Chains A and B, each alone.
Chain A
Amino acid sequence: MTAEAALYIGKALCILAMVATAPAEAMVVKSAFEAIGRNPQLEASLFGKAIISIALVESTAIYALVAFFTL
């Protein structure tokens, strides 16, 4: 295996971060929607919090992206 091939395999492994982050984001959205469904008055206060927690969860994918480009 040449060094270049190893590099590309490493980059492909970085993409695998999505396997975990996509379900994680879905879980955040799911529980937020469930809470709104149970108590619709919560919508105004939950929206901002849900957006922020999604951004926090997404940051793990961003770390993988940074690793992807620094490889």
Chain B
Amino acid sequence: MNLSLPGDAPTISALVLEKIGSFSITNTMTSSLFGDAVLIILCLVAAKFTVRNPGKFQLIIEGFLLGVSSFIEQIIGDKKAAWRVMPLVTTLILFILVSNLVLFFVPILSGFTYNGMTMFRSHTSDINTTAALAFGMVFLSHVYSIHATNVVTHLGKYIQFRHVILSFFKGIKKGIMASVEAFVGILDLISEVSKILSLSLRLFGNMFAGELLVSVLMGMLAIGLPLPMMILSLFSGTIQAIVFGALVAGTLGSIAKEELHKQNKFT
């Protein structure tokens, strides 16, 4: 009796199912579309909730939203600023959560094949998705920062010529301290780039490692052995969705606080 199920180990790049011109449809894209459809249906259902007659499903959704909002408040530490970034962060968490878990909760999906290739693969295990998400969020944080203050103040966070020159007029010691701060500002510029890398690689690595581990264990013994690893990747999928949301909330929340602070000063 053959107890192992050796399959193709997932590769880093997704499989190309079909090509329309130069535009290729990959198997992560189909599952992304499926996840989007699930989310849109969820939204349409949630929009019809009434206050008068809450069902079980409504309680689950509202409980989730309450949990996420109190979590974001805890991170940012300011209720008003938290509500500014909450819609975006909740959407992000929901999108990543659905994409990580859709293959676990709709198990039939992994059985579909197209020309002998698996048709669905969780789309956070494709580096393009996570890189796009991370780049979008970092780009948004810069745009929001410019919107909240202005271009000069925003660039001034990184390049602090004025502060250095003014400090040298006050004294040599203060000037040296200011130039150290200016160097840290330039380091921040590098950290913005590495933020994109770390955000995208963290999510991608976790999901991809889960898939790979399960497929390797399937090749050893297909009965029972992969189960703990699947549960672990279910767990890490949830955690990583929350971590991604938390990091974005932290970045955007500090800018939202700045904006609120500025508004309070003028009024």
Contacts and interface: CB of A to CB of B under 8 A. Distances in A.
B100 to A, nearest CB: 13
B243 A52 contact: yes
Interface stretch (B80-88, B168-176, B204-212, B216-224): B204-212
Interface residues of A, number: 13
Interface string A27-64: 00000000000000000010010011001100100110
B240 interface: yes
B201 A63 contact: yes
Nearest to B67: A48
Contact of A65 (B74, B205, B242, B246): B205
B239 A66 contact: no
B147 interface: no
A65 B71 CA distance: 30
Given A48-B71, A69-B12, A70-B12, A62 B243 contact: no
A56 B243 contact: yes
Contact of A66 (B74, B204, B240, B242): B204
A55 B240 contact: yes
Nearest to B200: A66
Contacts, number: 38
B239 A59 contact: no
A59 B206 CA distance: 8
B73 to A, nearest CB: 12
Contact of B246 (A52, A59, A62): A52
Contacts of B240: 55
Chain B contact patch, size range: 10 to 19
B205 A55 contact: no
B206 A62 contact: yes
B243 A63 contact: no
A55 B239 contact: yes
14 contacts: A48-B74, A52-B239, A52-B246, A55-B240, A55-B243, A59-B201, A59-B205, A62-B201, A62-B205, A63-B202, A63-B205, A66-B208, A69-B208, A70-B12
Interface of B: 12, 71, 74, 198, 201-202, 204-206, 208-209, 212, 236, 239-240, 242-243, 246
Interface of A: 45, 48, 51-52, 55-56, 59, 62-63, 65-66, 69-70
Given A48-B71, A65-B209, A69-B212, 14 more contacts: A52-B243, A55-B240, A59-B198, A59-B201, A59-B205, A62-B201, A62-B209, A63-B201, A65-B205, A66-B201, A66-B204, A66-B205, A66-B208, A69-B12
